Amino acid sequence: MKNRLLTIAAHVLGGLAFLALPYIFAPEGFSPFNNPHERTKLSSYLLILAYFYLNYLLLIPRLFFTRQYVWFGVCSLVCFWVIAFVIGGQGPPPPGMHGDPGPHPMPHPPMDIDLSQKFFLFLLALFLSLSLRIADRWRAAEKARLSTELSYLKAQINPHFLFNTLNSIYSLALEKSDATADAIVRLSSFMRYVIREAHDDRVALSKELDYISHYVALQQLRLDDTATVDFQVSGDPAGLEIAPLLLISFIENAFKYGVNPDGKSGIRIRVDILGDTLHLLVENSKVRVFQDEQTGIGLENTRARLRLLYPRRHELTIRDEGTTFTVNLTLRLS
C-alpha cells in the first residue's frame, strides 16, 4: 500500500512539474488566459502528458509487449500528428503581432521551433513511458520468479519429499539393488539444480529436462506396479534456453493427484521439441478431487510467468474432465 501511494505521488508530482515547464522557461511570463498562442502551447503540454499515460497504460501493454510493433508505430504517429498539427497547431498570432508590431511586440516563436520542441517532448514522453513500463514489467517478472522459486523450494525440497526419497533409497540399499547409486546421484543432481542454477533468468533447456527426468525417476521410487508412468522426450534441445522451474508444477500436480495407492493409475508426460518450439503434454488419471492451496498457487504462478515471460509465444490448455486431467502447453522459446 505504501509503495502504491509513493508511485501515485511520484506520478502526480512529475505531471505537475512537466506542466510547469512553459511557466519556467517563458521569457516574459506565461499567461495562457490572455494569449491564444500560449493557450495552444499549454494544450500541447496537456496532450503530451495525456499521450504519456495512454502509452504507459494502454499502447505499450497491448501493442508493444505483444509484438504488434507496426500498430504501435501507427498509433504513436497518429498521436504526434494530433498534438503537432490538429490541436497543437499554430494558432492566430497574439495581440501586438498584426501589422505594425508596435514598440513592445510580444515574442512569438516560429513554427519550426514550436514543432521541434513538440517533437522533442513527444519523444521524451515516448521513451520515458516505455522505460518505466519495461522496468515495471521486469519487476513483476522478478517478483513472480522469486515467488515461484520460494514455492518450489518449499514444495520440492521439503522434509516430506526428502524423507520419502531417502526412505526409498534406503530400501534399495537394504536390497543391495544396483539402482541405489543411481538414485543417490539423481537426488544430488536434483537438489543442485534447484539450489544453484534455478536462480538464473534462463537456463539451458537440456538442464531443465534433466531436472524433470530426475524428479520423475525419484517419484517412481515410491510407486508400485499399480501406477504406470510414461515419460518421453523427443527432439534436440541443444542451443535452446527456458525460464527455470517453468514446467515442473504441471508434472508435480500429476504425481500429487494422479496416483492411486489402492488401484491402477497412470501418468503420461511427453516433451516434443520441434525447432525452437516446445510441446508439453501431461495427462494423469484423477484420483484425489481435493487440491490444496499450495498447488493452486503453483499453477497460478506458472500461468503468470508464462504471461510475463512469453507473451504471444505460448498457448496453454488445461482440461479437467471426468477421469483425467490434461495439460497441453506449446511454447516458442526464441
> pLDDT tens digits, residue range 160-182?
667 777 888 888 888 888 888 88
Residues 6+ apart with CB under 8 A from 141: 305, 308, 309
- Which is more confidently placed, 146 or 244? 244
Instruction: Tell me the average pLDDT across 108-112.
Output: 48
Query: By mean pLDDT, which of 30-39, 185-194, 211-220, 257-266 is the weakest?
Result: 30-39
Please give the Cα distance from 330 to 316 (Å, whole number): 7
Which pTM was predicted?
0.55
CATH homologous superfamily of 156-332 = Histidine kinase-like ATPase, C-terminal domain (3.30.565.10)
Q: Which residues of 207-229 are buried (b: 16+ CB within 10 A; e: fewer)?
A: bbbbbbbbbbbbbbbebeeebeb
Q: In whole angstroms, give the CA distance from residue 22 to residue 52.
A: 17
Output the nine-digit C-alpha cell for 13: 508530482
Tell me the pLDDT tens digit for each residue of 278-312: 999 999 988 755 555 445 566 777 888 888 889 88
Give the position of cell 498447488.
295
Task: Return all residues near 210 (Cβ < 8 A) that are at least 6 apart.
Answer: 189, 193
DSSP state of 27: B
Question: What is the pLDDT at residue 149?
Answer: 63
End-to-end CA distance of the chain: 37
Query: What are the pLDDT digits (tens) for 204-246?
Result: 999 999 999 988 988 888 777 778 899 999 999 999 999 988 8
**Cell output for 238:** 541443444
Question: Boundaries of CATH 3.30.565.10 in the chain?
Answer: 156-332
Nearest to 216 by CA among 268, 166, 175, 257: 268
Locate the DSSP E strands across the chain: 203-204, 227-234, 241-242, 265-274, 277-285, 314-320, 324-332
Q: At a CB cut-off of 8 Å and minimum separation 6, what does 229 contact?
A: 216, 219, 220, 223, 266, 267, 269
DSSP strand pairing (324-332 vs 203-204): unpaired
Nearest residue to 210 via CA among 229, 233, 235, 230: 233
pLDDT > 90? residue 71: yes
- Tracing cell 498534438 back to the chain, one arrives at 83
Transcribe 224-291 into DSSP letters: -TTEEEEEEEES--TT-EE-TTSSHHHHHHHHHHS--TTS-EEEEEEEEEETTEEEEEEEEE------
236-239, long-range: CB < 8 A, 24+ apart: 236/273, 237/204, 237/205, 237/206, 237/209, 237/273, 238/206
Q: Report how far residue 292's alpha carbon sits from residue 256's, in angstroms, rounded to the nearest whole number.
A: 10
> Is the confidence at residue 88, as pLDDT, over 50?
no
pLDDT of 22 over the 70 cut: no
The C-alpha atoms of residue 308 and residue 312 are separated, in whole angstroms, by 10
Q: Are 323 and 283 in contact (CB under 8 A)?
A: no
